[in-house]
Amino acid sequence: MALDFPPFEPGTVWLVGAGPGDPGLVSLLAVHALEHADHVVHDALVDSRIVAMAHPGAVIESMGKRGGHASPRQGAINARLIELARAGKRVLRLKGGDPFVFGRGAEEALALAEADIRFRVVPGVTAGIGGLAYAGIPATARDCNSSLAFVTGHGQDGDVPDGFDWDGLARGAQVLVFYMALRQLDRVVERLLAAGRPADEPAAVVSKAATPQQSVLETTLGRLVEDLAAHPVDPPALLVVGGVAGLRRQLDWWSPA
């Protein structure tokens, strides 16, 4: 049965999630957008095989943001999307993971709305779900947790975020998944331990999740900083703290090609 996809109209912007890495995780709507976009503006972390799915006539433009590297400012990205849409282009803003989960997609959508540019949001598989699954770590498991928190590892200034209650966070969710926490990991661990999380609690760091370069460090919260110093990993990386991290020894199903 043929699927009836919405038309990708000139002068509009689609904010599309590309998932955590594996091209097989992109949605059918994402493929439809890639096949019809005039101009693709993609993040640095989007797999090149996904970008290559764009139709041959599309213009490909990288406007990715990477911590510690020279990157376009968010305002410049917003302005570029508006400029292209006003020129009558079908604009695909291709973002790693999900646009609305620590992807600054909301900022881009708000800028488009304020500029009276029509847009569509196509959700993607966020790394905190898909990336953990590829590491053999379920986000929830019946015998481990009934609560889950997604947390950014740094604030707007690049430091550990202080805008929430660390004690409440430590007590409030049985499993914690930190995005972009690698640079501040020692301080994150310090605050969690000070807030009462046990030192022997299972923890894992998943580097380059769902890509051929994926690696996983299994440890405990108390040993995390020491073990990571001995076995460093590259960003982007996820930190997961909680009983589900201890299930990997039974559930490690995927071997990167």
- Look at residue 69 and tell me whether its pLDDT is greater than 60: no
List, by residue range, all CATH 3.40.1010.10 domains of the chain: 13-125
21-44 pLDDT, tens digit each: 999 999 999 999 999 999 999 999
Contact 184, 160 (CB under 8 A): yes
Nearest to 233 by CA among 215, 248, 212: 215
175-209 pLDDT, tens digit each: 999 999 898 899 999 999 999 999 999 999 999 99
Alpha-carbon dihedral 41, 43, 47, 51, rounded to 10 degrees: 0
Q: What percent of the chain has pLDDT over 70?
A: 93
Q: State residue 3's pLDDT score.
A: 81
Fold of 128-251: 3.30.950
β-strands 39-42, 91-95 pairing: parallel
Would you name the residues annotated as active-site residues?
Answer: 43, 65, 180
List, by residue range, all CATH 3.30.950.10 domains of the chain: 128-251
Q: State residue 255's pLDDT score.
A: 87
pLDDT, mean of residues 107-136: 98
Q: Given CATH 1.10.645.10, say whether it is the number of domain 13-125.
A: no
Average pLDDT, the chain: 93
- Look at residue 154 and tell me whether its pLDDT is greater than 70: no
Render 54-121 in DSSP notation, one character per residue.
S-TT-EEEE----TTS----HHHHHHHHHHHHHTT--EEEEESB-TTSSSSHHHHHHHHHHTT--EEE
74-95 pLDDT, tens digit each: 999 999 999 999 999 999 999 9
